[in-house]
Structure 1
């Protein structure tokens, strides 16, 4: 493992361990280097601006200050490109615009060398995107979900029937390459899946959603899972 990669992995391990910290010996075993090398790496992280703390004695070790920002080394070029590719390939995903803005913030604070390497690598990753649905419609659905307010939609079903529905948003789901709004339909008095691509109009109301939960939708398919910030 190259040193820049080890520094990144080291900062990530310290961050995950939170206030517990890690001993230099444990870090050395984890990365297959000497304790002396680990301490040099920790010193390098600290000099680059990482909020590294140390605690002597039994149960002590090293860690990162809670809530503090990580230094530029906290993201590798490949990880930066992975984020860019994921956002570019899913422009129809819920909160995609916010994700793109978040990725841009990350790119803006990368050190120049890492940014240059990420830009070069990004040129080697191509994605084909599908036409996205109306930004106004997606914004209304996203707001309704986040604020848990009823969304009034004009919906055209597969058979061409158009109707107005008041829906309590419960979750967004991607199935077979298509995004759905899953929610409690007040017209049908039941949980329903609405293809976002067939929603002609969407407006957020001032009505607060009831207490319908994700569990009412049922178990996700075997190959589906909620998004989260953890690996695996």
Structure 2
């Protein structure tokens, strides 16, 4: 069994018995590999976003959070590859890393033959031209709105003047060339938009800000049409 097949089989084995644990030794015997190989495979799955956690104790082992996993889905190989192509457009956005883990979760939940077909189709798909090198966004910024914590940032304006600010993250604005974090700036006591590549430092505080609503009309953007995103 190759590694791709084994990773898929590990997830299916733990999904079948969830929430009960499977020990590394049991899994190693089941798939005829070493315990160290199982531990590396589990680590790879965890890094790709599969919700596996370790349960300690004599009867412990690795558990899969069944409530946060998907049953086999009817995503076609072509749909999976279409999503992979679309992800290439997300470089430099707050959602690139999360989109990658979401795609891996979906592929892991596909029917096994379809997942293999998607992998084969992806290997036959090529993109022409130079790849644009876009600065990555720090994880603290990418998770800022969902985390709902006050951020302390260093920010350089267009004149290269630097300030330290505490902001309450409210949302994001994306353009073809840049991404911005929208937040309530405590230094200015007003709504402000911060270009992510001008944020020079970021730290997450323990403070939970009061709830604020971000409306389209609050974004005083003098150019272009503002469109609100929907996942439905």
| 1:228 aligned to which of 224, 227, 230 | 230
Aligned residue-pair number: 160
Partner of 1:202: 202
Does 2:159 align with 1:164?
A: no
Offset of 1:218 from its aligned partner? 3.3
Pair 1:132-2:130 in alignment: no
Which residue number in structure 1 is paired with residue 211 of structure 2?
Answer: 211
Equivalent residue number for residue 154 of structure 1 = 154
**1:95 maps to what in 2?**
95
SS of structure 1 residue aligned to 2:212: coil
- Go from structure 1 to structure 2 and tell me whether the alpha carbon gap of 1:161 and 1:115 turns closer, same or farther (over 3 Å shift): same
TM-score by length of 2: 0.60
Uncovered stretches (5+) of structure 2, i.e. residues with no partner: 1-67
- Contact 1:85–1:125 (CA under 8 A) maintained in structure 2: no
Q: Which residue of 1 aligns with 2:53?
A: none
Superposition TM-score, scaled by structure 1 size:
0.60
Q: Are the counterparts in 1 of residues 154 and 199 from structure 2 also a CA contact under 8 Å?
A: yes
Once the two structures are superposed, residues 196-223 of structure 1 have per-residue CA deviations (whole angstroms, 9 ceiling, x without a partner) of 0111110111222233221263388774
Instruction: Mark the structure with the bigger radius of gyration.
Output: 1
1-structure distance, mates of 2:115, 2:69: 22
Find the aligned partners of 2:110 and 2:224 in 1 and give their Cα distance: 38
Alpha-carbon RMSD across the aligned residues, in angstroms, is 2.7
SS in 1 for 2:82: helix
| Structure 1 stretch displaced more, 182-191 or 103-112 | 103-112
In the aligned structure 2, how far is the partner of 1:206 from the partner of 1:130? Answer: 33
- Give how far 1:124 is off: 1.9
